[in-house]
Amino acid sequence: MTSQVIIKLEKLVFYLFILCIPFQTRLILAQWPVLRSFSEGGSPLPDKGFNEWASAFLYLSDLFILGLLALWLLRTLLMTSQVINKGIFQKKDFMLFGFLAISALSITQSNFVQVSWYQLVKLLEFVLLYFYVRSNLDKVFSFAGLLRALVFSGIFQSLIAISQYIKQESLGLWFLGESPLHLGNQGIASFYVGSQLILRAYGTLPHPNVLAAFLFVTLISFAVLFIGGKLKNKFWLLGYGIILYAFFLTYSRTLIVIPIAVFALFLIVVWFNKRWRRQILQYKRQLFALLIISFFIAVLFIALNYQQVVARAFFSKDDEAISLRLFYNRIAGHDFLARTWLGSGVGTFVPKLMTTLKHVPESIFQPVHNVYLLILAETGLFGLVFWGVFIKTTIRNYIAKHNFSDIRNVILPMVLLMFLLTGFFDHFFWTLQQGRLLLWLTLALLI
C-alpha cells in the first residue's frame, strides 16, 4: 500500500469522522459503582444506577480517531526514506504536555482511580487528534472540505431536531445515539409554558446546549463557504435557514446570547476599522442574503413560538438552572481549597459529589457548570495554569502568524472566544464527547 493510497483512505475516514461528530452512538465499556453517603443507620447507600460520569464508553467517533491515527502512523513509516514532516511540535505544546503531566499526577490524589485513568486516556486521545488535525491540514484534507462536512451534518441534525420538537419526543434513532426523549422523564431538558411542558430539541446529541454549540459551528461554516463563493447554488440558503431554525429550537439561553454578543462586538470593531469595512463591502450581496434569511427565520420562529420564547427569556434567581450552577460552583471552590495544587484527581468531581450527598435525585450528580472551576477542582492550580498558558500561547501565536488586516483571519479566534465564554456557564466542552471534539478541532485549526 503506497502513501498516496493511504492518504485517499485517510481523507475518506476524516470526512466520515466529521459527519459523525454529533452521533452519540457508543458502547458502555465499564460502570464503576460509587457508594453514596451513609444512611442514618450507618450503612453506605448504593448508587441507584447508571451514571454518565462514573462510566467508560467507546464512541463511534473514537473508532474513526483510532483509524486516522493508525493510518497516519502507517503513512509515516512508509515515508521513512522520504522527507518526513519536521517540527511537528511547537513551543506552546510544552504547556499542553505539562497539563497532561499534571493530569496524570492528579491521579495520586484520586479516590476513584479507574475513573481518573479513563479520563486521562480520553484526554490523551484528544491531544493526539489535535496533533493529527494540525499536522495534516491541506495534506490529507482541506479546510473547505471540513466545513462542507460540518454543513451536511448540521442540516441532517437540524431536520432531526425540528422533527423531535414537532413530535415532542424522540424519533427512535437509537442507532445514532438519540436519547430516549419523553416529557416528564427525569433529566430531560424541558421547560413550562403555563402548565404545558415543552421539550427542547436534542438532535442525536446528549443535550440541547451541545446541539446549539454544534449548530452554531455549522452556521459559521456555512457563512464562510457561502461568502467565499464555495456554495454558489442558492438552494444552499434553504439549508442555512433550516439550521438556524433548529438552532433556535434548542432554547439555549447561553449558546444563543453569547454568539449574539460576540457578533455584536465584532460589528462594533468593524465599524471603527476602515480596512475591515471595505472588505465587508466586497461581500455585501452574500451578507445581505444571509441577513435577510436570518431576519425572516428569527421572525418566523418568534411568531410560531412566542409564548415559549417569553417563557425562556425571563427567569429569576430561584431558577433551577441558576441555583444548581451556584451550588456546583461552591462545591468546586471547596474541593479546590481542600486540595489546592493537584486537585482531587482528573474526572473525580461527580464521583466525589456522589459520596458526599444523600437523598438527592440522581440528576443532581453533574459536573460543575464552569470549565475553569472544574479544571481547578480536579487538577488543581497547576493544571489550570498550564491549560491557561497553553490557550494564551495558542491565540498569541495565531495572531502573530496571521495578518489581521484580513478580516477572514478573525473567524477562528471568534469561534474559540465563544467556546471560552461558554465555558464559564457550561461544562460540555470539557466533559462530553461532542463538545470536546469541537474544542480540540478548533484549537488544532488555530495554526
Give 357 or 106, the one with higher predicted confidence: 106
- Residue 179 DSSP SS3: coil
Q: Which of 272-281, 386-395, 429-438 has the lowest mean pLDDT?
A: 272-281
Query: Taking a C-beta distance cutoff of 8 angstroms, is the pair 290, 280 a contact?
Result: no
Q: What is the CB neighbour count within 10 angstroms for residue 243?
A: 25
What mean pLDDT do residues 9-33 have?
96
pLDDT at residue 431 in the model: 98
Residue 82 has pLDDT above 80, yes or no: no
What mean pLDDT do residues 330-336 have?
95
Query: Taking a C-beta distance cutoff of 8 angstroms, is the pair 413, 392 a contact?
Result: no
| pLDDT, mean over the chain | 92
pLDDT in tens, 379-395: 999 999 999 999 999 99
pLDDT at residue 47 in the model: 59
pLDDT at residue 36 in the model: 63
Give 78 or 100, the one with higher predicted confidence: 100
**What is the distance, to the nearest Å, from the Cα of residue 63 to the centroid of all Cα atoms in its chain?**
18
pLDDT at residue 83 in the model: 45
* pLDDT tier at 404, thresholds 50, 70, 90: confident
Residue 37 has pLDDT above 80, yes or no: no
307: left (phi over 0), alpha (psi -120 to 50) or beta: alpha
What mean pLDDT do residues 100-104 have?
98
pLDDT at residue 41 in the model: 57
Work out the percent of the chain whose per-residue pLDDT is above 90. Answer: 77
What are 421's three cell numbers? 465564554
pLDDT in tens, 170-182: 999 999 999 999 9
pLDDT at residue 35 in the model: 63
What mean pLDDT do residues 12-30 have?
97
pLDDT at residue 84 in the model: 47
Residue 136 has pLDDT above 90, yes or no: yes
- pTM for the model stands at 0.95
* pLDDT tier at 85, thresholds 50, 70, 90: low
Tell me how far apart the alpha carbons of residues 363 and 359 are, in angstroms, rounded to a whole number. Answer: 12
What mean pLDDT do residues 181-206 have?
93
What mean pLDDT do residues 189-214 have?
96
Closest CA to 151 of 204, 216, 212: 216
Where is mean pLDDT largest: 86-90, 268-272, 435-439? 435-439
pLDDT at residue 89 in the model: 84
Torsion, Cα of 411, 417, 422, 427 (10° steps): 100
pLDDT in tens, 226-241: 999 888 788 899 999 9
What are 425's three cell numbers? 456557564
* pLDDT tier at 49, thresholds 50, 70, 90: low
Query: Taking a C-beta distance cutoff of 8 angstroms, is the pair 439, 388 a contact?
Result: no
Sequence spans of domains, the chain: 3-445
What mean pLDDT do residues 394-406 have?
90
Residue 376 has pLDDT above 80, yes or no: yes
Closest CA to 426 of 139, 92, 189: 189
Closest CA to 266 of 409, 389, 393: 409
Residue 44 has pLDDT above 70, yes or no: no
What are 35's three cell numbers? 457508594
